[in-house]
Amino acid sequence: MQIIDVLTQMSRAMRDLGAMRWGVPSTTPRVMAELLRRERVANRLYRRACDAGAPQLIELLVEFGGRLLPRQGVLEVEAARLRGWFPWQETKAGWAIPADLAAAMASQVASERFFAVTLAARLDDDELLALSEELALPPLGSHSTRVGCAARAAVDAKSDAPEVRAAADVIDDHQCVASEDIETVTYVRGSRGLLYGIEFVDGEVLEVCPREVAELLGISFDPVTVAAATPGPTLKESRVRLPPFTVIGALISFATARAAEDALGEATFRAIAARRLDERRVATRARCSVEQTISVLESLGFRIEGNGEAIS
């Protein structure tokens, strides 16, 4: 699944609403997908998901590299905070984000679970070029697009070679590693995207294969469990200044501004008037009904017409 697939399934109204939250202009799905693949935009979207109150869920979605993350009841709270605006896929079985979006967000996650997309996303330009040339990928497209193509090609090229089986056993022993412990990720030439070398900051080196390939070879991994949901974002207390307002009883519209001034010049009418709204309209006090206001105006010599206007 790619970003373009998610966007084309959304209605125009939903894309427009999402674009405001994603920080991209609302245009064609193809252009919006290319913008969301940019690392700067993807990382901003990652931070907004965290700010919305779903830091654990978005991190796991990226770590799973576009693969389906099985549902967990404790994550349902966070899923509700992403629902309706985040570009993802939600099914009864779980959640997943587009593979190319996961590749663009890979630098933000705290753990590496050895999925093909996130491994390839950590390659530098020379390593990715070597991988692209070996798999005969088109030279066009963004970094994350080519990473996604390389990941799919690697899974399609599943091999039972001894070195691939050994690399799969390494993943089974480690499950995942901390991203901050990874120094570099390199591509093993000639492996057709099946083998990657990981050098850690302490000098240790591992040779691994993509986790999807290991699963195809029959290795099962422990399910990821989350202990507790994170609390929602705490909103700062804010003060709202309301404009002054007055509860009124009746709204009187005079025929002319002069008529309104004459009425306000009478002490009897001023006693029931609450506020002059404009040149011709005057609001009376809350307990003064329309009938009482008309009675006062008639006693002062004003003529009340059928349309409710008072004329002196």
Residue 72 lies in a domain: yes
Q: Is there a single domain that holds both residue 256 and residue 298?
A: yes
Q: Which domain holds residue 92?
A: 3-216
Same domain, 68 and 111: yes
Residue 163 pLDDT > 80, yes or no? yes
Whether residue 242 is contained in a domain is answered as no
Residues 211 and 306 in one domain: no
Same domain, 152 and 77: yes
The identity of residue 71, as a single letter, is: R
235 Cα distance to chain centroid: 18
* pLDDT at residue 60, as a whole number: 92
* Cα gap 208→249, rounded to integer Å: 79
Q: Please give the pLDDT value at position 194.
A: 86
Q: What is the pTM of this model?
A: 0.65
CB 268 within 8 A of CB 295: no
**Confidence tier at 58 by pLDDT (50, 70, 90):** very high
Mean pLDDT for the chain? Answer: 84
- Which of 216, 232, 256 delimits the end of a domain? 216
Is residue 90 in some structural domain? yes
Tally the domains of the chain: 2
DSSP label of 189: T
Centre a 10 Å sphere on the Cβ of residue 251 and count the other Cβ atoms it contains. Answer: 13
Residues 55 and 124 in one domain: yes
Is the pLDDT at 197 greater than 60? The verdict is yes
Q: 27 with 161, same domain?
A: yes
Mean pLDDT of the region 49-68? 90
Strand pairing report for 309-311 and 248-254: parallel
Same domain for 273 and 129? no
Residues 273, 158: one domain? no
